[in-house]
Amino acid sequence: MGKTRPLGILGILIFLLLTGEKCSEETTNSDSLQKAESQDDFHQLEFGMSVGFFKYLKNQDAYEGPLKRMANDGIRHVRGNDPFTTDMQPYLKKIPTLIESVTKHDIEFLLSISNYPYPVKPAHIQPWVAKAFDRPEYASKGKARKEKYNRQIQNKSKWTNRFPPEDLDAYGDFLESLVNKLIEKDVLKNTSFEIGNEPNAPIYYWGSAAEFKQIVHKTHEVLKETKRPIVCCAFTGKQVMENEWNRESDFYQFSYSEPLFKEDLGFSFHLYQGHGVGDWKDFESIEHDFLEGSYITETNVYGGMADGTPQLEKANSPFWIVRFAQMLEFAYKHKIERIYFHKLKDQPGIKGKLGFFDVKGKAKPSYEYFLKVKSVIDDGYKLERNDDYIQIVGKKKTLIVALNETDYQSNWGSPSETSSQTKTSEFIPKDEWVIINN
């Protein structure tokens, strides 16, 4: 990204006079940027919401309000993972009905097929735990951390199975039956698919990379007949980072070398600040070409926001837009096609408050801040970054986020919205923002 400051008003006036064009005192730098470059240069980015575990949709009344609201606000994508939990029996009957509860709002559903419809065999658990945490990336975790992972897997095994199917052909038959039920319910036309959910994380997938590759091929073999979009594999953010242990990871090699990614299988991953990374700047070194056109199927401005934490307070303050702007910079650089925020709504009795809507279905401030930025980039956006600010230029509005104190009025003019209490200052303080009508 360039580090030059934008033209001031005087520079723009001189430019327009030299080209014989008329101008007014309301001309701004963002105007000149849009005139100077073609409309095709704007990056188009779609948004969706993740509900988390698919089973949450059983409480259809609780989701009705949030789904209506997001549909009215032009958000047309929802994702749910782990559809084959124990309490979802019988799977083939319930899944199409719950998908319909979403798609009836003119929303497309992304079904993340990330667990398997067979009971867990307890004898499998201990050998898997011992094997999984002998991997290089976990060697430094320590005994206490490994014991914690062990408890997590033991607990999850009571209501879901993430061990690979022992009979892949039988699994393929099951998936064909599921597709037929989606067709019967007339929801397949609004359903797309994701294979896997953080399979490189041992607590979310209980098998090897070689076994996962077999699952991907069998699942793709069945789902490609639907002619619906398919992505894979919702890897963790660390999976797409370039580092020593990653290069030796079987999952990393799979993501680089799998031929299906060069054909009709899209790429998906998750991206959270925290959870092994210090900040969004830690992702700046990612240069993988295969990220272009990919989906981020889970993200938020923080990895966790429990009650009483500073992250929860910041996520529901104007600072949310600062973090979002950094995410948009990453999406712009790598030409990400779609981002799903995790998550749509908080759950009763569940720790963590990542939802844009609370337990009662009321929109939180974070959702309103999201809409402010969405109004800037709805028709596409361009991005400029230097040491002082991130400038996100939409076709009707421009968002300026200050990385350091930034003089904006001499460059952009008066704001229509600002994170500060006053609009009279000529400077944006660090970690504050303004939105300007172009």
- Write the DSSP assignment of 334-388 as a string of letters: HT--EEEEE-SB--TT-S----SB-TTSPBPHHHHHHHHHHHHHTT-BEEEE-SS
Q: H helices of 267-355, where?
A: 310-315, 319-334
According to the model, what pLDDT value does residue 135 have?
67
Three-state secondary-structure class, residue 201: coil
pLDDT digits (tens, 9 = 90+) for 379-396: 999 999 988 999 999 999
User: What percentage of the chain has pLDDT greater than the value 90?
Assistant: 53
Decide whether 9-40+383-437 matches 43-120+157-378 in CATH topology.
Answer: no
Which one has a higher pLDDT value, 321 or 278?
Answer: 321
Strand partners, 269: 235, 296
pLDDT at 128: 84
Mean pLDDT comparison of 229-243, 274-288, 310-324, 333-347, highest-scoring range: 333-347
Instruction: Taking residues 279-287, report their average pLDDT.
Output: 61
Q: Specify the pTM.
A: 0.87
Lowest mean pLDDT among 7-11, 207-211, 368-372, 400-404: 7-11
Residue 423's pLDDT is what?
56
> Is 60 exceeded by the pLDDT of residue 331?
yes
Per the model's pLDDT, the better-predicted residue between 334 and 3 turns out to be 334
Query: What is the pLDDT averaged over residues 66-82?
Result: 98
pLDDT at residue 412, as a whole number: 67
Instruction: Place 235 in a pLDDT band, splitting at 50, 70 and 90.
Output: very high
Output the pLDDT for position 242.
Answer: 59
Confidence of residue 3 (pLDDT cuts 50, 70, 90): very low
What is the average pLDDT across 320-343? 93
Residue 8 has pLDDT above 60, yes or no: no
150-166 tens-digit pLDDT: 888 889 999 999 999 99
Is residue 300 a contact partner of residue 275, using CB atoms and an 8 Å limit? no
Whether the per-residue pLDDT at 2 is higher than 60: the answer is no
State how far the Cα of 387 lies from the Cα of 11, in Å rounded to an integer. 21
Q: For residue 21, what pLDDT is reported?
A: 36
Would you say domain 43-120+157-378 falls under CATH 3.40.50.2000?
Answer: no
All structural domains of the chain with their residue ranges:
9-40+383-437, 43-120+157-378
Cβ 271 vs Cβ 299: under 8 Å:
yes
Q: How far is it, in rounded angstroms, from Cα 109 to Cα 27?
A: 42
Question: Would you state the pLDDT for residue 371?
Answer: 97
pLDDT tens-digit map of 405-415: 877 666 666 77
Most confident of 124-138, 146-160, 284-298, 299-313: 146-160
Question: Domain 9-40+383-437 belongs to what topology?
Answer: Immunoglobulin-like (2.60.40)
Beta bridge partners of 52: 80
- Say what the pLDDT of residue 136 is: 64
Angle between helix axes 9-18 and 29-36 (nearest 10 degrees) is 40
Q: What are phi and psi of 166, to 5 degrees?
A: -80, -25
